[in-house]
Amino acid sequence: MTAPAATPLTPYATLLGFTRYVDRTGPTKANFVGGLRKQRASRSGFNPHGQFVKALKADIAFHTGGTHLTGVVDVVKPRWRPLYQALVPGATAWLHSLGEPASIDLAQTRDALAMLGDLPVKINPHFGVRHADGRAEAIRLHFDETPPSEESVLATLHLMARHMDAVLPHAEPVLVDVRRGQAHHMPTDAKPDQIERWLAGEAAAFRAIWSTAA
């Protein structure tokens, strides 16, 4: 009896996966997409930052200025403790840069699905921040040891802004480099039409690589 044909795995990327992809060049792009495809096929993946994000959100929601961040280092599994110890100082510095703890509140964000040509990209900020003056920011966190490149910053902020009506209406997208405590905003001289064309080309190449990565 002939075995049924395997169902093709539809091309798909998260915001993190796609922005890491655009940051790569040459053969490393193909290797990276192949890895994403295998990960999706096996439904594998683990997020070591979950407790960290929860602690940061608690500090914003309860106006505690970093006490939850400090405390999470002691309760996380020992294998993740060095990672959390490296992240806490920068995250705390960014938290303090927002102003008095009582002047900010946590805002609920929603995920959105962006279509870049035929490639679906999941837009998933970590949380939102609402300031006392009414300003809102949709926050995406960057945890890597290396700072985000200009390309990954532009791609992240553009895709978040593109779907802000669904994510957190009237908010500004912000990419926070957690280790260095630095907030990245869309450059004032950014040209959205050019960024859109660039990302459309990257998405087409992503789909082509995905379809050949068995």
Q: Higher-confidence residue: 57 or 10?
A: 57
133 within a domain of the structure (yes/no): yes
Helix (H) or strand (E) holding 176: strand 172-177
- Asked if 129 and 105 count as a contact pair (C-beta separation under 8 A), the reply is yes
CB atoms < 10 A from the CB of 131, how many? 14
CB atoms < 10 A from the CB of 168, how many? 24
**Which residues are CB-contacts of 7 (< 8 A; sequence separation ≥ 6)?**
none
- To the nearest whole number, what is the mean pLDDT of the chain? 93
118 within a domain of the structure (yes/no): yes
**Which residues are CB-contacts of 170 (< 8 A; sequence separation ≥ 6)?**
136, 164
85 within a domain of the structure (yes/no): no
- Number of structural domains, the chain? 1
User: How far, in whole angstroms, is CA 148 from its chain's centroid?
Assistant: 11
Residue 167 corresponds to which tokens in the numbers above? 């994510």
Strands (E), 74-152: 104-107, 112-116, 119-123, 127-131, 136-142
Look at residue 131 and give its three-state secondary structure.
strand
**Which range, of 23-27, 48-52, 129-133, 194-198, averages the lowest pLDDT?**
23-27
142 within a domain of the structure (yes/no): yes
159 within a domain of the structure (yes/no): yes
Domain that holds residue 33: 13-38+103-213
94 within a domain of the structure (yes/no): no
- Check pLDDT > 60 for residue 197: yes
Q: What percent of the chain has pLDDT over 90?
A: 86
178 within a domain of the structure (yes/no): yes
Q: Please, what is the Cα angle at 99 between 73 and 176, to 5 degrees?
A: 55
137 within a domain of the structure (yes/no): yes
- Check pLDDT > 50 for residue 134: yes
Crossing angle for the helix pair 27-42 and 15-22, to the nearest 10 degrees: 160
- Separation of alpha carbons 90 and 36, rounded Å: 29
